[in-house]
Amino acid sequence: MPQSVKKNAEERMEKAILSLKRDLSTLRAGRAAPSLLDRIQVEYYGSPTPVNQLANINTPDSRTLLIQPWDKSSLADIERAIMKSDLGLTPANDGSTIRLSIPALTEERRGELVKLTKKFGEEAKVAIRNIRRDANDDIKKMEKNGISEDESRGHQENIQKTTDKFIAEVDKVLLAKEKEIMEV
């Protein structure tokens, strides 16, 4: 039974790492990628909808994103959502498509992106620590229902080792993204 708790905790921690990687993929590192728009929600007929569900997103070159809405009436809504976002990009609307030119990152913007990267990393670490707490609580409940105190302590130590491993993985992912952002 305690092994299932550890396995469940590992699976949840793995999902936290995947979520961190997905969040970091939405940060621009000087080149165009459709994933930059993944976090942008457009108010479409009263409900927030991801841009990629309203339009076709292409990268004609390494510095440009081309957004072609399937419904032309949503063009202004998509443009407004991009302007409100934290991307720092100004959309160019030609009546049927939106072009986003990705400028080279300034040193100041690189610093802001590194801070945002660290914020995402801290959120991932907090999520992993919360998973550790939940797993330890489950082990303590099992201690009341039959496993010994020594077994409980051993399982909690294993969960801590797993937590340390995933925290180190978060640090590794953050370091790689910071390196990518600071690359000129």
For the chain, the domain total comes to: 2
Q: Kindly state whether residues 121 and 162 are assigned to the same domain.
A: yes
Question: pLDDT by residue (tens digit) across 138-180?
Answer: 988 888 888 888 888 888 999 999 999 999 999 999 999 888 8
Torsion angle, CA of 145/149/154/157, rounded to 10 degrees? 90
Q: Kindly state whether residues 6 and 59 are assigned to the same domain.
A: no
- 75 lies in a domain? yes
How far apart are alpha carbons 2 and 16 in whole angstroms?
A: 21
Q: What is the mean pLDDT of the chain?
A: 86
Q: Kindly state whether residues 63 and 122 are assigned to the same domain.
A: no
Residue 140: Cβ within 10 Å count: 13
pTM above 0.85, yes or no: no
How far apart are alpha carbons 30 and 18 in whole angstroms?
A: 22
Q: Kindly state whether residues 170 and 140 are assigned to the same domain.
A: yes
Domain range for 80 is 42-101
Tell me the CA distances in angstroms from 134 to 23, 127, 148, 154, 160, one per residue in order. 24, 11, 19, 16, 12
Q: Which two tokens stand for residue 142?
A: 């099992």
What pLDDT was estimated at residue 123?
A: 94
Instruction: Tell me phi and psi for residue 137, to 5 degrees.
Output: -60, -40
- 69 lies in a domain? yes
Walk along the chain (184 residues) in steps of 10 and give the mean pLDDT of each run. 84 93 76 79 87 87 86 87 80 87 80 88 95 92 84 90 94 90 74
